[in-house]
Amino acid sequence: VRTTSQGNPADRDNFDITSATYRHIARLNALRRAYFAGFGSAACDQVGTPLPQIEDLLIFWRGCDVQGRVTVVANFHTEEPRTASFYSPWDEGTKLKDAQEDSSLEVVVQSSGFISLLVAPLQAMILVSGARNSRPCRV
C-alpha cells in the first residue's frame, strides 16, 4: 500500500470513534485482551456450564485461575427477565462485578459456589472477581 504524507491510508477507517457502538466494541475487545489473552493451553481453554441448563439463558465460565476467570450470563428472551440460579466454580463470598458495564451490580457467591441473579431481557453480563484496568471508559 502506498503511503502519503498523511500516513498510510489503510490504517484509517471512517468510523465515528465517539459513537456508543464503537466504544462498546472497543470495550469488548479490551475485555477479551484482559481476560482471554492467556488462553491457548488445554487447561485454560476448558469451558464449564451449569447443569441442568436454564431455558433462554446462556451461562458459562472459563479461565485458568481466579484472577482470569470470567462467568458469562446472557438472557436471550426478548421480553421477559430470567433468574439465573446455578452452581459455579467461584468460592463462597467472592464478589463478582459486571466487567462490561460500570454499574453498582455486585453478585456475592453463596455457599458451594451458588449464584442467583435476575437477568433482564436481552441482557448479557461478564462477571469477574475484580475489574481490570484495561477497560476503555464507559459507554
Nearest to 69 by CA among 137, 115, 126, 118: 126
Residue 27 located in a structural domain: yes
Residue 24 located in a structural domain: yes
Q: State if pTM tops 0.75.
A: no
CATH code of 56's domain = 2.60.40.1180
- Position 2 scores a pLDDT of 58
Confidence band (pLDDT; 50, 70, 90) for 119? very high
> Residue 129 in contact with residue 66, Cβ under 8 Å?
yes
Cis geometry, peptide bond prior to residue 52 (ω within 30 degrees of 0): yes
Give 69-115 pLDDT, tens digit per residue: 889 999 999 999 999 999 998 999 999 999 887 777 899 999 999 99
Q: Which residue has the higher pLDDT, 101 or 120?
A: 120
What angle is formed at CA 80 by the lines to CA 75 and CA 83, rounded to 5 degrees?
55
Residue 123 located in a structural domain: yes
Give 2-20 pLDDT, tens digit per residue: 566 666 566 666 677 788 8
Residue 94 located in a structural domain: yes
Give 27-48 pLDDT, tens digit per residue: 888 877 776 655 566 666 677 8
Quote the number of domains for the chain: 1
Q: Which residue has the higher pLDDT, 40 or 134?
A: 40
The radius of gyration computed from the CA coordinates of the chain, to the nearest angstrom, equals 18
Nearest to 58 by CA among 72, 39, 77: 72
User: Per-residue pLDDT for 134 more than 70?
Assistant: no
Residue 136 located in a structural domain: no
Residue 63 located in a structural domain: yes
Mean pLDDT across the stretch 49-75?
Answer: 86
Residue 4 located in a structural domain: no
Q: Which domain holds residue 34?
A: 9-128
| Beta strand ranges found along 43-103 (DSSP E) | 47-48, 57-62, 70-75, 82-87, 95-98
Residue 1 located in a structural domain: no
Q: What are phi and psi of 33, to 5 degrees?
A: -65, -40
